[in-house]
Amino acid sequence: DSSQATIDGNAISNHEWGGIWVVFSSHARITGNIISDNKLKGVWMMGSSQATIEGNTISGSMDGIGMTGSSLATIEDNTISGNLGGIRMWDSSQATIEGNVIRDNEGYGVALWDGQCSNIDDVFTGYVTGRENTGGGNADGDYCPDALAFLFTGEGGELDRREE
């Protein structure tokens, strides 16, 4: 709860649960790391956690980055590849996703984990904005749902499903 951390320049690999967990009300700055071959998540965010995830190489996990609850992230200039899913977002999580290379994942590059993109009844009620990401080679596609296509354009855009 409520911890703060800067995680910079590390090799984080081969963990049973995940490489980096940012949970509850924690804040983290995660930069310049090689995060690989962790069983569940490269970076896992939940609760009302906040993180800046920048300049990392994230590969070989179930999800490169997973976000749930009301977590909030800025995800910039990372290489996210070789995971089951690149970036997966649940619940009311919110993210700015810009300038990443998100490719060669076994599922989607970026996906909202709800009925449109998975076989579950959950509904995504969060927010996504971003631009200038590079995809390709993601087995299920670069994004899901189609409303996230802006993430892979120069002009970008936003998807706002927050409840008012």
Distance from chain centroid for Cα 138: 14
pLDDT reading at 65 higher than 70: yes
**Per-residue three-class SS string for 109-144:** EEEECCCCCCCCCCCCCCEEEEECCECCCCCCEEEE
Q: Per residue in 87-138, pLDDT tens?
A: 999 999 999 999 999 999 999 999 998 888 887 788 899 999 999 999 999 9
Considering only CA atoms, which of 139, 8, 157 is closest in space to residue 20? Answer: 8
pLDDT reading at 18 higher than 60: yes
87 by DSSP, 3-state: which? strand
Rounded CA separation 157/1 (Å): 33
17 by DSSP, 3-state: which? coil
**Under 8 Å between Cβ of 28 and 4:** yes
Kindly report the average pLDDT of the chain as a whole number. 95
- Work out the percent of the chain whose per-residue pLDDT is above 90: 90
Helix, strand, coil shares of the chain, percent, nearest 5, are 5, 50, 50
Burial environment of residue 161 by CB neighbours within 10 A (0 to 12, 13 to 18, 19 or more): middle
